[in-house]
Amino acid sequence: MADGFQVAAEAFARGFALPPKLTVSECADRHRYLPPTASSKGGRWRTNKTPYLRSIMDVLSPEDPTQEIYVMKGAQLGGTEVIVNWALYAMLYVGGQFLVYQPSLEMARGFNQDRIEPMIAMTPEIDAIVAKVRSRSSSYRALYKSFLGGALRLAGANSPKSFRQISADKIAADDLDGWPGDVGGEGDPISLLRMRAATFGKRYKLLGISTPTNKGESRIEKAYLASDQRRYLVPCPQCGNMDWIRFDNLKWTPGDPASVYLVCAKNGCVIEEGSKTRMLEGGEWVAQSPGPGKAAGFHISGLYSPLGWLSWETCVAKLLAVKDDPPQLKTWVNTILGETFDERPADVQPTALYARREEYPAAVPTGVGVLTLTVDTQDDCLVWQVTGFGDRGEMWIIDYGQIPGDPGMLDVWRDLDRIRERRYRHESGRMIPLEVTLVDAGGHHWDEVLAYCKPRQGYRVYAIHGGRDAIGPLVPKPTYKNKFRARLYTLCVNTGKDTLRSRLLVSAPTETSRCPGYVHLPRIDWCDEEYCAGMASEVRERVHVCGIGWTRKWTSIRERNEPWDLTVYALAGLDVLGDAVKLGLKERAAAFATPPKRPPSAEGGSTAIVPGPAPDGPPAPVTPSAPGRPPRAPARPLVPPRPMRPGFVSRGRGGFRSRWGL
């Protein structure tokens, strides 16, 4: 039986014992194991595989006096593991309060499930000191870990409650550029974080990690520029010159990303990517703007990614694929180079749009793979537009018009049904139908739009309206929380407007090649100066919004902006159709360009309203029968489904029923 005095004495000694002089990187090498889900193989953590992370982790050790550390990085570099290794070190050797902030509570729970829980489970030394949670609340278990000598909390930066009544001496802020600029009207989140650590004086440490976004708006870039601006210099394998890897020094044979190599900036030495491992091992962080009292700032791009992760060939191939598409090019600059994207300051000019108009050889030119119909609901009319999409985001404005009348009356929606049934003549002679219809439910006719769309959802007719989110995907998951239980998409219109603005600034394609993202305008009566002015009717300004902070807000500069809104809705319509359609636009365009076996009727000119698909082949031959019997009649052709009868629906005790119709 154990001596009680001896047990008490040992516990007393442990309480006053100094922690071993280990750095965070040495602690990770000694105790950290990676689960198979966190890496390609899993197993013991080895800092030597990512030597550029060693100094970042060691600055977080208690012996280093640096209080604030910021990391502006690209993708595939293992930056998130720095937070996990720091948490492991704190739980084993330092104790105290440890806070980990993610952009949202949902992401905080995901971080716990994917990173923290596996780290605890695969580290016996930590698993033995973490308290076993008895609470039945899953949210409690996901956001709070109590261990011997301290506690680990996870929180979301989108909640003001996460910044109240919690003090910590170790704070990790992940994905800073995804945070709101103003948390619930209480101020900048970085300032709020400093307040959480104010009671600890000079003993607190704050780590901020993020991939940058837009130039002038990125929080991590602002913090990095105010720091000592360290870069990871690596030696040239041939001459030994120390320099940082920059994309401008990568060279390759045009059209062949596999031939990429790095050129030494000093002596022009040719460096193959196979030398990257030796270069990384001999690298060191050097401050470009040293000074007393400055935070430690680290910048590293995806070009430093170890062999087997993200190769130079992949980086070049991705650039060649997106160089003509500004939205995708922005993602490449942010995630690969780890730099902010400097958007073109020029606004879209109506005169430039009017000058770009072109003659279409047919209502639907070659290159179009899908047609969408979008409808803007006004108090006195419905404004509609047909937009075509091709490979890699190329767009064609096909048709545009108005249906005058009060949307509360039946005649307006009956006319819209006739528009939906239109088929447009392709350059090949085929008749192309409309694939999806999106109707704006904003304004004063919410019930009418939902009642119209509900019985037509089988024809891909959906209601949409603009949301309040400043950032996010253009088309999130639909909801059905309305009295008609109709499918409703709440769009992040800022995302769509940013994409459309970038595409309107794309230069015209050459005669020999397509131009991804280019917006074609037809030389036709309705595409006049008024339409082009409506297409350039909004500009983006930097404003301060309560609850959001400094952000860019789209502001209308003219009263009528239907062409702009309808084209943004068209981008959403393509997303609604799904990735299968978006990724197959090239094949769909090639299928449309194949002439039909039997040319369609010339009825209707360039556009035609037909009840069903035109037959592509000759009439079916008479099927021969046995001798002595009359020939059998040919099989009856498939009859296209009848179009939906116009009308609204209303909800009663027996479910939905037609309120009125033909």
* pLDDT tens-place string over residues 434-463: 999 999 998 788 999 999 999 999 999 999
Which two three-digit tokens encode residue 550? 């400094």
Q: How far is CA 244 from CA 53, 187, 270, 285, in A?
A: 15, 37, 15, 10
Can you read off the two tokens belonging to residue 359?
């003659």
The Cα 14–Cα 520 span in angstroms is: 74
- Per residue in 163-212, pLDDT (tens digit) is 766 778 899 999 988 887 666 566 677 777 787 777 787 788 999 999 99
Contact indicator for 427, 365 with CB cutoff of 8 Å: yes
Q: Give the pLDDT confidence of 16-58 residue by residue, as tens digits.
A: 555 567 899 999 999 998 887 665 567 889 999 999 999 999 9
Relative to beta strand 144-147, strand 96-102 is: unpaired
Task: Read off the pLDDT of each residue in 498-511 and give the average, rounded to a whole number.
Answer: 80
Residues 416, 643 contacting (CB under 8 angstroms)? no
- Distance CA(26)–CA(106), nearest Å, equals 32
Closest CA to 392 of 323, 330, 452: 323
pLDDT digits (tens, 9 = 90+) for 564-597: 999 999 999 999 999 999 999 999 999 999 998 7
Of 53-57, 106-110, 324-328, 344-348, give the range with the top mean pLDDT.
53-57
Q: Are 183 and 193 in contact (CB under 8 A)?
A: no
3-state class (DSSP) for residue 648:
strand
Q: Where are the domains of the chain?
A: 19-232+285-309+321-337, 350-528+562-596
Residue 221: what pLDDT? 92
**pLDDT given for residue 622 in this prediction:** 38
3-state secondary structure (DSSP) of residue 11: helix
Highest-scoring range by mean pLDDT, 22-26, 189-193, 326-330, 467-471? 22-26
pLDDT for res 656: 41
Tell me the pLDDT tens digit for each residue of 483-493: 899 999 999 99
pLDDT mean over 313-324 = 88
Report helix, strand or coil for 214: strand
CB 339 within 8 A of CB 212: yes
What is the C-alpha to C-alpha distance for residues 243 and 266, in angstroms, rounded to an integer? 9
CATH class of 19-232+285-309+321-337: alpha beta
Q: Rounded to a whole number, what is the largest CA-CA distance in the chain?
A: 114
pLDDT value for 520: 94
Q: Which two tokens stand for residue 356?
A: 């770009």
pTM of the predicted protein model: 0.65
Averaged pLDDT, 295-305 = 95
Segment 515-560, tens digit of pLDDT: 788 999 999 999 999 999 999 888 877 665 555 555 667 888 777 8
* Model pLDDT, residue 284: 96
Predicted local distance difference test score (pLDDT) of residue 658: 40
Q: Whole-angstrom Cα distance, residue 386 to residue 424? A: 10
pLDDT computed for residue 325 by the predictor? 74
pLDDT at 558: 79
Q: Phi and psi of 107, rounded to 5°?
A: -70, -30
Amino acid present at 420: R
Please report the pLDDT score of residue 37 as a whole number. Answer: 67
SS (HEC) of 383-450: EEEEEEECHHHCEEEEEEEEEECCCCCHHHHHHHHHHHCEEEEECCCCEEECCEEEEECCCCCHHHHH
Residues 24, 58 contacting (CB under 8 angstroms): yes
DSSP E strand boundaries for 264-377: 270-271, 284-287, 296-300, 370-377
Q: What is the pLDDT of residues 614-659, one digit of tens each?
A: 334 333 333 344 444 444 444 444 444 444 444 454 444 444 444 4
pLDDT at 645: 45
pLDDT at 654: 41
Q: How does residue 15 score in pLDDT terms, banded at 50, 70 and 90?
A: low
CB contact burial 608-625 (16+ within 10 A = b; e otherwise)? bebebeeeeeeeeeeeee
Beta-carbon contacts of residue 138 (< 8 Å; ≥ 6 apart): none
Q: What is the 3-state secondary structure (H, E, C) of 321-349?
A: HHCCCHHHHHHHHHHHHCCCECCCCCCCC
Per-position b or e across 458-480, b if 16+ CB within 10 A of its CB? ebbbbbbbbeeebeeebbeeeee
By the 10 Å C-beta count (0-12 exposed, 13-18 middle, 19+ buried), 413 is classed as buried
**pLDDT (0 to 100) of residue 557:** 79
| Dihedrals phi, psi of 276, to nearest 5 degrees | -65, -40
Cα dihedral 324, 329, 333, 335 sign: negative
Of 163 and 284, the one with more pLDDT? 284
Using CA atoms, how far residue 431 sits from 311, 314, 413, 601, in Å, is 45, 40, 24, 10
Q: How many CA atoms lie within 13 A of 137 on its CB side?
A: 6
pLDDT band at 608 (very low <50, low <70, confident <90, very high): very low
Q: Pick from 176, 232, 181: which is nearest to 209 by CA?
A: 176
* Assigned token pair, 412: 């307006």
Rounded to the nearest integer, the mean pLDDT of the chain is 82
Based on its alpha-carbon atoms, the radius of gyration of the chain, rounded to whole angstroms, reads 31
pLDDT surpasses 90 at 468:
no
- Sorting pLDDT into bands at 50, 70 and 90, what band is 343? low
423 forms beta bridges with: 433, 608
Q: Retrieve residue 571's tokens.
A: 């981008």
H or E, element range at 208: strand 205-210
Dist. CA 53–CA 79, nearest whole Å:
8
Helix H, strand E, coil C: the string for 44-86 is ECCHHHCCHHHHHHHHCCCCCCCCEEEEEECCCCCCHHHHHHH
Q: Tell me: pLDDT of 598 over 50.
A: yes
Q: Whose CA is closest to 129, among 9, 5, 2, 14? A: 14
Predicted local confidence at residue 125, as pLDDT: 85
> Between the CA atoms of 157, 163, 166 and 169, what dihedral angle is there, to the nearest 10 degrees?
70
Q: Which residue has the higher pLDDT, 9 or 401?
A: 401
Residue 476: helix, strand or coil by DSSP?
A: coil
Going by pLDDT thresholds of 50, 70 and 90, the confidence category of residue 419 is: very high
Compute the residue count for the chain.
Answer: 662
Q: What is the pLDDT of residue 183?
A: 64
Which residue, 141, 18, 26, 14, is CA-closest to 89? 26
648 closest CA partner among 428, 472, 464, 409:
409
- Which residues, listed in sequence order, are joined to residue 231 by a DSSP beta bridge? 286, 299
Question: pLDDT for 344-395, tens place per residue?
Answer: 555 678 888 999 899 999 999 999 999 999 999 998 999 999 999 999 889 9
Distance (Å, whole) CA 170 – CA 211: 21
* Tokens of residue 402, six digits: 């108005």
